[in-house]
Each structure stands twice: as C-alpha cells, then as structure tokens.
Amino acid sequence: MPRLVPEPYRIKVVEPFRLTTRAEREAILTAAGYNIFFVKSEEVYIDLLTDSGTSAMSDAQWAGMMVGDEAYACCRNYYNLKGTISDIFGFRYFVPTHQGRAAEKVLFAAMLKPGDYVPSNTHFDTTHANIEAVGGHAVDLPIAETLVPTSRHPFKGNMDVERLRRFIADVGAQRIPLAMLTITNNSSGGQPVSLANVRAVKEVLAQYGIPLFIDACRYAENAYFIKQREAGYADKTTLEIAREMFSYADGCTMSAKKDGLVNIGGFLAMNDERLYQRASQLLVLWEGFITYGGLAGRDLEAMARGLWEALDEKYLQHRIGQVHYLAERLLEQDVPIVEPPGGHAVYLDARRFLPHIPQAQLPGQALVAHLYLEGGIRAVEIGSVMFAHKDKTTGEWKYPELELVRLAIPRRVYTQTHLDYVADVIIELYRKREQVRGMRYTYEPPFLRHFTARFEFV
Ligand code: P61
C-alpha cells in the first residue's frame, strides 16, 4: 500500500505557478509589513491560507456551469439544488446565499433578540461576530480535551453536554432561541463531532424546546470521520451518516466553499415554515430573490453537483489521507502539531515549536513569516495576533491558550509532491528553530487585527 492513497481523479487543466527566490521573498514580505494577507497570490508557492473557496472543481461541475439558467426567478438550477439539499440534508426549506456568513446573518437576524444566548461546541469567528452584531452572546462549550493539543480524543470537536445542561439551567431556556454545532469544529483544529454527541446535544435541547442548527460547512469530512472512528458506522455510507447527522437538527448554515467544492456559494436550510418566511424576507433585502440568493444560476448548479461529489468515499479517503500524510511526516521528525490532525488542516503548535519566544513576541506570527521566507508557503496564524486582548479591568494582555499556525489544504489542488515539499521546508525550519526571532507590531489596528496589522522582527 502506498503511504498516501492516490488521487481518485486525474489532472485535465493546469495552472502554472513559480517559486520565487529567497531574496525576492525577503523584499516581498518586508513590503507587506510581514503580514501574509498582503502578499500577492502569484508570489506564493504553496498557498495553505485556507481551504475555503480554493477547491478545484470537477469536469462535471464545469459542465454544470454551462447549463446555468440565468433567469431572475425560478431558474432550473435552483430546483436541482433544492433536490440535492432535500436528499442529503433532509430539510424542508432552504434559501441560497452567496457564502456561509450571509446564511448566518439571515439566521441570527431572523431568530435572535438582543441579550439572547447561542451555545455551540465552538462558534467560528464569522458566526460569533454575526451573533454579537444583533446583540446576542455567542457561547462556546467544547469538551475539555479540545484545548489539549496532545490529546488523541477521536471526537475532539464535541460539545460538553453537561456544560450545556448547566448553561441552560443558569441562563434559562427562554433566552436561548437556538443552539449550534460546528461540524467539523474548525476553531478547535478541524476536529470531528460524533453522532453520539449530536444525538446527546439534541436530547438535552429537546427537553427545553430549543432548536439545533448545524454549521455544516465540512459535513462530508465529519461523516467520513464518523465512518472511520465511531462504533456501528463502519458499514454505513457517508450519505447515510450525513442524513442521520442532519436528522437530529432543525436546520443548518452552510458555506459551500468547503464541502460544496465550489469557489463561492452557501445556503441556510430549516424545517420551520415561519422561520423560512422570515428568512426569505431578509434574503430579498440582503442577498437577492429567494431562488438565487446572491449567486448566478451557474453557481447554484456547481454547488448542487459539488455537494454530492464531496460525499464520495474514495475522494474523502484521499482528501483526509493527504492531511494525515502531511501530519505524519511532521510527527516522524517530532515537529509539534495538534493531534490527531483534523479533516482540512494541519496545525503547528507554535508554543512548542518556538519555546524560546514568549507569547508577547508572537511566536505564531514569527513562524508564519518564516514559512514564507524559507519556502514561499502561506499559512495563517491562529494565536495571539488573532485573539490576544487587553483585560478590561486590569489593562493587562491576555494571551490565548493555543498558539497555532494553520496549514489548510485546498481540496483537489495539490499533489503528494507538493505536500512533501511543505513537510521538507517545515522540518528544515524546525531543525534551526533557535535562530527564529520573535515579532512586534509596527501597526496594530483596534479590531480584526490579523487582517491589517504590520510587524517587524524583534
Ligand atoms: C476558513 F480567517 N472559514 O476556515 P464563509 N463556519 C465555519 C467556517 O470555517 C467558515 C464559515 C462558517 C474560513 C474562511 C474564513 O476571518 C475569517 O463562506 C466553520 O467564509 O462566509 C469559514 O463561511 C464562514 C477565514 C472566514 C477567516 C473568515 O478559512
């Protein structure tokens, strides 16, 4: 058996790219203020910034784009997508949106009042921000293992059901109009959520009449982990598992830029007719008519086809295999990463990678800068730059527990040779890690710092 199951597809179209020289990269990164978000895509060799909207579409999806029906209302692609969503997810109603956060915006505007709470295993940052934007409180209730980088819990994305029970008792069910589960749990390292956990969460919520919504953007990868790891599911198809997952939910938000295998697209689905009516009103206001929701007919078609392709078990075996292959190559050389690796990304543990750099000197950001300088690799810091904040009463800096650097693998884009190159660059950097210096801000914006901050080496 090869270490990595070969791609269950072959390459029909190629997009050339080139590796810059070290001297070029030094000039580029200095000009970008050491913020990788300001580096031009063509100056990046292997782009692992995100797995969102970066997938390669299949020939069937491209063919689908040619049968896009661009009528303003009731185009045929809407009905194809409706059929797909009903078959896979099982919800009665849905509205298309241009991406995941638009679905979140509509959902929370339709369901929340100021002061309400929305518990989750871990909200993604756009979800968190959309809840707070309408005056709600986003609350994360992950299991304890989620915060331990070396814990090999098979379902580290789970919600802590006891904490949920206590939370509802504390704030009162009337202030919780819905709860959520993010599958897989992106903010905890792309870790899966078990079906037992979905079922248990639903049981608690049902006692109080609180609806459950799933953030479904990596639903197929989550289904594959359940098939691999959860007792009783080895012989079920990923489709059967996905159907069971969603059968416990009252609706979902979806960024199809992940497991929809499209470059743009999303939707909001639900069973409640009254909610569908409210969401439709808001959709018309913000996104477009209810049969296109901010997308072209061709985008709806590519999404309808991609949602099926993402459930293909040969594809998932290769896809998750790629992430695990990269993780294993790093672990063999003792490079510290979050274990076990998740479905869409490998996360370097910057505190253990660079133990000589205190969090105040941004070890994650220093690691991101060096991955680019050494090999033209673009990763993203998920640590102090993103999350450190000043305590409101003491004025002291509070640093996050985890200081991570995410290497997100785009779907169907890179080959094993690319991954070997990434592993080689990281291993080489790890060998000379004492030479890496910390960083400080030269410009520190007041919020969403990571997108626009500028840095220099200490
Ligand atoms: C990502 F730095 N994720 O992981 P939209 N839910 C979940 C997501 O992972 C997610 C969305 C909802 C991104 C893109 C991204 O500050 C950032 O289609 C679990 O992007 O609106 C997106 O879906 C939102 C990265 C988004 C960021 C915002 O890379």
Global pTM value: 0.96
List all residues whose CB is within 6 A of at least one atom of ligand 1.
50, 52, 99-101, 124-127, 182, 186, 215, 217, 255, 257, 266
Predicted confidence (pLDDT) per residue in 29-86, tens digit: 999 999 999 999 999 999 999 999 999 999 999 999 999 999 999 999 999 999 999 9
Q: What's the CA-to-centroid distance between 51 and ligand 1, angstroms?
A: 9
Q: What's the CA-to-centroid distance between 330 and ligand 1, angstroms?
A: 26
Q: What's the CA-to-centroid distance between 22 and ligand 1, angstroms?
A: 31
Of all protein residues, the one whose alpha carbon is nearest to atom 6 of ligand 1 is 124
Gap between the Cα atoms of 117 and 149, Å rounded: 28
Q: Which helix (H) or strand (E) holds 220?
A: helix 219-229
User: What amino acid is encoded at 268 in this protein?
Assistant: L
Q: Look at the block and give the residue holding tokens 């185009």.
A: 75
Predicted confidence (pLDDT) per residue in 118-173, tens digit: 999 999 989 999 999 999 999 999 999 998 888 999 999 999 999 999 999 999 99
Of all protein residues, the one whose alpha carbon is nearest to atom 12 of ligand 1 is 100
- What local confidence, expressed as pLDDT, does residue 147 receive? 85
Q: What's the CA-to-centroid distance between 207 and ligand 1, angstroms?
A: 31
Q: What is the largest CA-CA distance in the chain?
A: 62
3-state SS class at 266: strand
- State the Rg of the chain over Cα: 22
Beta strands in 350-457 (DSSP E): 377-378, 380-382, 389-390, 397-398, 404-408, 439-443, 454-457
- What local confidence, expressed as pLDDT, does residue 144 receive? 95
- What local confidence, expressed as pLDDT, does residue 268 receive? 98
pLDDT tops 90 at residue 392: no
pLDDT tops 90 at residue 345: yes
Q: Count the alpha carbons within 13 Å of 399 in the hemisphere toward its beta carbon.
A: 14
- What local confidence, expressed as pLDDT, does residue 457 receive? 96
Pocket test for ligand 1, best of 105, 183, 217 (most atoms within 8 A of CB): 217
Of all protein residues, the one whose alpha carbon is nearest to atom 23 of ligand 1 is 100
Q: What number does the ligand 1 atom closest to the CA of 185 have?
A: 19
Q: What's the CA-to-centroid distance between 268 and ligand 1, angstroms?
A: 15
Q: pLDDT band for position 390 (50/70/90)?
A: confident
Predicted confidence (pLDDT) per residue in 284-334, tens digit: 999 999 999 999 999 999 999 999 999 999 999 999 999 999 999 999 999
Mean pLDDT over each residue of the chain, to the nearest integer: 96
3-state SS class at 225: helix
- What local confidence, expressed as pLDDT, does residue 123 receive? 95
Q: What's the CA-to-centroid distance between 106 and ligand 1, angstroms?
A: 16
What is each CA distance from 11 to 8, 14, 54, 57, 59, in whole angstroms? 10, 7, 16, 11, 10
- What local confidence, expressed as pLDDT, does residue 429 receive? 98
Q: What's the CA-to-centroid distance between 102 and ligand 1, angstroms?
A: 11
Residues 6+ apart with CB under 8 A from 106: 95, 97, 268, 279, 282, 283, 286, 287
Q: pLDDT band for position 409 (50/70/90)?
A: very high
- What local confidence, expressed as pLDDT, does residue 388 receive? 87
Q: What's the CA-to-centroid distance between 153 and ligand 1, angstroms?
A: 24
- What local confidence, expressed as pLDDT, does residue 237 receive? 98
Gap between the Cα atoms of 183 and 190, Å rounded: 8
Average pLDDT over residues 339-366: 96
Nearest CA among 303, 215, 214, 312 for reference residue 260: 303
What are the tokens at 247? Answer: 């059968």
Nearest CA among 330, 356, 311, 264 for reference residue 52: 264
What is each CA distance from 317 to 28, 165, 325, 416, in whole angstroms? 37, 36, 11, 14
Q: What's the CA-to-centroid distance between 272 and ligand 1, angstroms?
A: 26
Q: What number does the ligand 1 atom closest to the CA of 182 have?
A: 19
Average pLDDT over residues 411-425: 97
Q: What number does the ligand 1 atom closest to the CA of 255 have?
A: 18
| Alpha helices in 53-211, H assignment, sequence order | 59-66, 76-88, 100-111, 125-133, 161-171, 195-208
Of all protein residues, the one whose alpha carbon is nearest to atom 7 of ligand 1 is 124
Q: What number does the ligand 1 atom closest to the CA of 125 have?
A: 16
Q: What's the CA-to-centroid distance between 258 and ligand 1, angstroms?
A: 9
Q: What number does the ligand 1 atom closest to the CA of 257 have?
A: 18
Q: What number does the ligand 1 atom closest to the CA of 344 have?
A: 4
Is the pLDDT higher at 3 or at 192? 192
How much of the chain exceeds pLDDT 70, in percent? 100
Gap between the Cα atoms of 141 and 163, Å rounded: 6
Q: Is the peptide bond before 211 cis (omega within 30 degrees of 0)?
A: no
Handedness of CA 122, 127, 132, 136 (dihedral sign): negative
pLDDT tops 80 at residue 1: no
* DSSP code per residue over 332-375: HTT--B-SS--SSEEEEEHHHHSTTS-GGG-HHHHHHHHHHHHH
Of all protein residues, the one whose alpha carbon is nearest to atom 26 of ligand 1 is 126
Gap between the Cα atoms of 154 and 14, Å rounded: 37
What is each CA distance from 12 to 112, 149, 257, 398, in whole angstroms? 47, 39, 21, 49
Q: What's the CA-to-centroid distance between 126 and ligand 1, angstroms?
A: 7
pLDDT tops 80 at residue 447: no
Average pLDDT over residues 436-447: 93
What is each CA distance from 10 to 6, 73, 322, 413, 450, in whole angstroms? 10, 37, 16, 11, 37
Pocket test for ligand 1, best of 52, 380, 448 (most atoms within 8 A of CB): 52
